[in-house]
Amino acid sequence: MISLNEHLISQRLAAAYRPGLQTTDGYARLLQGKNLICAAVLMPLVQIGADWHLLFTRRTERVDQHKGQVSFPGGACDPGETTPEQTALREAEEEIGLRPSDVRLLGRMNTLVTITGYQVAQVVGLIPWPYVFRVSTYEVERLFTMPLDWLARRENRWEFYRPDSGLPVLAYHPYDGELLWGATARMALDFLKVIGLADG
């Protein structure tokens, strides 16, 4: 296991970042000609003791899309927002009460296009821990973390195939009763690959 620190994470994010869209050939075929929706997420990193974790939310059943799914704080871009950081920080403040001034931005992952037609910018930020969150109970059912070393272990993840398209979907085995799968699982694994914790 490599010894992580925020400087190393920032360096590796900067080295791997390439402007433009990142998606599978299968997804590109399905999304051809579709107007993609601008969106951004904050991938909140926390250090708990000596261990690094990612912070996730589980969405409520009341939201319009992705009901009950595990996700990062985030959403669609608002008019007038000119950077993914603006969108990601605004959404994190609205959803979990995370003040933008409390986030130390470390960099971006490559943009991901989801099967649902979102063009998602991924912003990585370090947040203090412990932290007093103010959770929007309309949008967020639960807030929790997963350790990076657990997420990095190959035996904790698997793939299944979508019946509608035949395309593979990444999923993790349950952790603390939560199911991480789909685009959010892909984002987490891609991040682990960039910082050197998971194989390419």
Residue 152 covered by a domain: no
Question: Range of 104's domain?
Answer: 6-147
Cα angle value 62/66/71 (rounded, 5°): 105
d(CA 136, CA 149): 29
Beta strands in 34-178 (DSSP E): 37-48, 51-59, 70-71, 74-76, 104-113, 118-126, 140-147, 157-161, 168-172
Residue 56 covered by a domain: yes
158 conformational bin, left if phi > 0, alpha if psi -120 to 50, beta if neither: beta
Please give the model's pTM, rounded to 2 decimal places: 0.94
Structural domain total, the chain: 1
pLDDT digits (tens, 9 = 90+) for 74-130: 999 999 999 999 999 999 999 999 999 999 999 999 999 988 889 999 999 999 999
